[in-house]
Structure 1
């Protein structure tokens, strides 16, 4: 029987032309893709998707994961976009974001495990650029929490760590990496920056693994010096539990999460802040006048001063709004089939909440595209805004929000207490940004003039 079947296949192969076979294979794959992409009733609308690749061309890949506003305007507040193997839902508008992330938070609590994450974590003076200077300072706070020590700014190992983090964030937003997430099986065999990303991640993981091994050498189970020691205690406590998630791999991943979330976001926001001050000297002067009135030139900045400094607080919030460092929020995943605003969302779909549209909504902000601290002021007092969600909302909102708010206030106020920031002579500053996992300003130089 098998011999007869083999003979039949061989006969068909010899009689059919290669072009016919390829055409038949293509038609079969096209039909399979059509069946695979069938959506249930009331599925969100969206632009026409191309076979196999989906809506890749509807993304502005030069800006990372960024959905152009014209797509949102055409198809509505809840739309469907497919990227290769990824089914995505884009949610725009405060009522719908709140309904998803708060009203039905149990249905949107997961984070999607995209292809790159699976590969990374589941496999065995004069004018100056403030970028790495600010990164150094902010990162050392995370170093104190995780490693139990600060690094000297000239420490080669520390500088290599910061450089790796920065390179990884840029590479992960590249076109090749976005294509890898959409078509992981194909991109595995193609050259591109995604392979460089994997190499750099492995190097970064080895760095953290070495720190963990050094901790073990002089580890005292009775006394936790830092995050790593505390995690080692949990590993020891659960060592006989085969289902425990406390292991070295998760410790490495958790430590890197702290570095990425705790360094890049705050550092990027501060760099936007200095840029906006240099571009808006009249606002910078008002901040400094408030600092001089409340703190003077010698008193150290603390969070206790924040309530007495509404204008400075408003400026920091406006930096976050205009900087818009996580344009589409950190992705969520639909945990069960869910109905949102009458649309059926399928379990496993990736959900993106459109913070860009929210933070630039003309119905919410008087001058949405202009840096204007008055957005957060009312009768001279600081005013909270419901439509301001840089740390997201719901169960998976940013765990480091309070630390980030504290860092932003202390760093920003301390810098403007001591310096005035201006553009270098004959250099024009701009609000251009570079493609990265965060929306960060393009490289720029500033002059920091002491306020003595």
Structure 2
């Protein structure tokens, strides 16, 4: 910082004054008997002890010194950190109700105001989540109906890749199109052509949200929201992009309202509108416009980004390790052949492919730190007293990359999910969808998408790198709430 610049000096002085005033006004004792943790700076908390590009690694390193449960401070707010399979399972699964709250970090509070099913709590969360799960099942999640949609979308994806005529291209855009169309067909009732302006707009908004949420500035904002609101910065793009996303969804909801037929619901929005009509005279109903808007936004964001990123990382991994791609191709040829579409029933006969897909999810670790939980009442946990409303941060990377749970945690190894006879084996430490009561409601849909999309892709193509396959870096660019992947071009050679 150049303090010789009068403007910079003035900004520094104003920021210092704001920090001191905010600290003096907000300083208050904290009840409870929290786990010990690293010493925190006044005002700043443990901000400077975090790697802003990969905070999960900082937390895992701290757990080596302070144990699997410890406390860090975000500004003046404490957060209890959970590391390791046993600790996270005990908290989120065995005592799931106590840890089922959602702590609203300032950035999420500003973007959602507690609406929707991801960032809500209490009765609102219970009702919206129950309704969402039931409605998604009604529209085929986990059933034959949605399997056929994925198979159909996979063929659109194959056609789009064939149109590249084996020239180098990045598959990122097309994979995101395919993934988005599955959740769009459930929520909006239809898919989009890959050139459709609405789909292009939607994907741009989703990419912007994910990119901005992974910015180090988000961590700074969560520590000092009241101060940051007064200051300029690139982080403000996140809120503008979020507003644009909500405007897009509002327009889709409005078009549904205009063509709505109560007796013929075709998608999630129609079903929600029916529920709103049924409860319009019910005081304090949770089926209101705010929850519809944010729940649809939650579904579209989660259903597009997580699947699209995992598919992209899968191709990168299998190109980097051509011997694994070859073994998958061999299993596809033996079980499915080249004439028919893959089905979900094939998965039981393809243990190696299933193991590779699981290992991809474990290894790429796209959500190394879960969205923060919150204890719903004062609780005793492992000898500590955690007060109601305390933020709880589960570090799922500490499970997916734990040396005690995996033979080679830092290496890509499909044998993690294969027994000595080559049969698929489950591992209870496999937690890519979170765990407990806040586990991703679309887990079964995601598992089906990953299997059907990937087997269809490798049934039709051999993916070759443009650069030497050994130079492909499959580590993320940065990992915070989500993992940002690198981008490479490949040639898709017809098989």
What's the TM-score, normalizing by structure 2?
0.82
Q: For each residue in 1:291-315, what CA deviation from the matched residue of structure 2 results, as whole angstroms up to 9, or x when unmatched?
A: 1000011221111000000000000
Inter-partner Cα distance in structure 2 for 1:266 and 1:383: 23
Deviation of 1:64 after TM superposition, in Å, equals: 6.0
The separation in 1 between residues aligned to 2:57 and 2:232, in whole angstroms, is: 24
Aligned pair partner of 1:148 in 186, 189, 211:
189
Classify the secondary structure of the residue corresponding to 2:437.
Answer: coil
Does the residue aligned with 1:212 lie in a helix, a strand or coil? helix
The equivalent residue for 2:77 is: 86
Inter-partner Cα distance in structure 2 for 1:24 and 1:259: 42
Q: For 1:154 and 1:31, how far apart are their aligned partners in 2?
A: 54
Spell out, residue by residue over 1:17-50, the C-alpha distance to the aligned partner (whole angstroms, 9 max, x if none).
Answer: xxxxxx99998976776x6254533x21111101
RMSD, matched Cα: 2.2
Q: Deviations over 1:311-332 (max 9, x none)?
A: 0000000000101011012221
Partner of 1:440: 484
Contact 1:165/1:260, CA 8 A, preserved across alignment: yes
Give yes or no for the alignment of 1:408 onto 2:476: no
2:382 corresponds to: 341
Question: Residue 381 in 1 paired to residue 423 in 2?
Answer: yes
Report matched runs for 1:361-380 at 5 Å: 361-378=402-419, 379-380=421-422
Cα-to-partner distance string for 1:319-358 (whole Å, 9 max, x where unaligned): 0010101101222111111222212222212212121121
Deviation at 1:193, TM superposition (A): 2.2
Q: CA, structure 1 residues 312+40, in 2 after alignment: closer, same or farther (shift >3 Å)?
A: same
**How big is the shift at 1:177?**
1.9
Q: The residue matched to 2:58 in structure 1 has which SS?
A: coil
Query: Aligned partners of 1:26, 1:325: CA distance in 2, in Å?
Result: 34
Residues 91-123 of structure 1: per-residue CA shift (max 9 Å, x gap): 111111111011111111111122122222239
Q: Which one of the candidate residues 116, 132, 138 is aligned to 2:179?
A: 138
Q: What does residue 273 of structure 1 align with?
A: 314
**Which residue among 417, 431, 435 is the counterpart of 2:474?**
431
Matched with 2:32 is: 40
Specify which of 101, 108, 119 is matched with residue 92 of structure 2. Answer: 101
* Partner residue, 1:52: 43
* TM-score, L = length of structure 1: 0.90
After superposition, residues 156-167 of structure 1 pair within 5 angstroms as: 156-167=197-208
**Alpha-carbon distance change, 26 to 192 in structure 1, aligned in 2, over 3 angstroms:** closer
Partner of 1:395: 437
Question: Which runs of structure 2 are paired with 1:109-124 in the superposition (5 Å)?
Answer: 109-122=100-113
For 2:460 and 2:17, locate their aligned partners in 1 and report how far apart those are by CA, in whole Å: 72
Of 165-174 and 400-409, the range deviating more from structure 2: 165-174
Q: C-alpha distance in 2, partners of 1:415/1:113?
A: 39
SS at match of 1:330: coil
Please say if residues 235 and 247 of structure 1, whose CA atoms lie closer than 8 Å, have aligned partners that are also in contact. Answer: yes
Matched, 1:197 2:189: no
> Where do 5+ consecutive residues of structure 2 fail to align?
1-15, 116-163
Determine if contact 2:465/2:490 at 8 Å carries over to the other structure: yes
Distance across 2 between alignment mates of 1:37 and 1:280: 54
Q: State the shift of 1:363 in Å.
A: 1.7
Distance 1:186 1:305, change over 3 A: same
User: Whose radius of gyration is greater, 1 or 2?
Assistant: 1
Shift, 1:219, TM fit: 0.7
Question: 2: distance between equivalents of 1:260 and 1:66?
Answer: 25
Cα gap change, 1:343/1:177 in structure 2, threshold over 3 Å: closer, same or farther? Answer: same
> C-alpha displacement at 1:85, in angstroms?
4.2
Secondary structure of the residue aligned to 1:91 is strand
Instruction: Report the Cα distance in structure 2 between the residues aligned to 1:26 and 1:170, rounded to whole angstroms.
Output: 28
**SS of alignment partner, residue 381 of structure 1:** coil
1:259 aligned to 2:300?
yes
Aligned CA distance change for structure 1 residues 62 and 390 (closer, same or farther; 3 Å): same
Structure 1 equivalent of residue 264 of structure 2:
223
Q: 2:392 aligns with which of 351, 376, 384?
A: 351
- Comparing 163-172 with 305-314, which one deviates more in the overlay? 163-172
Indicate if the aligned counterparts of 1:325 and 1:438 stay in contact, CA closer than 8 A: yes
CA contact (8 A) 1:224 1:230 kept: yes
Contact 2:368 2:481 (8 Å CA) reproduced: no
* Cα contact 1:114–1:181 (8 A) shared by 2: yes
Match of 2:345 in 1: 304
In the alignment of these two chains, the number of paired residues is 427
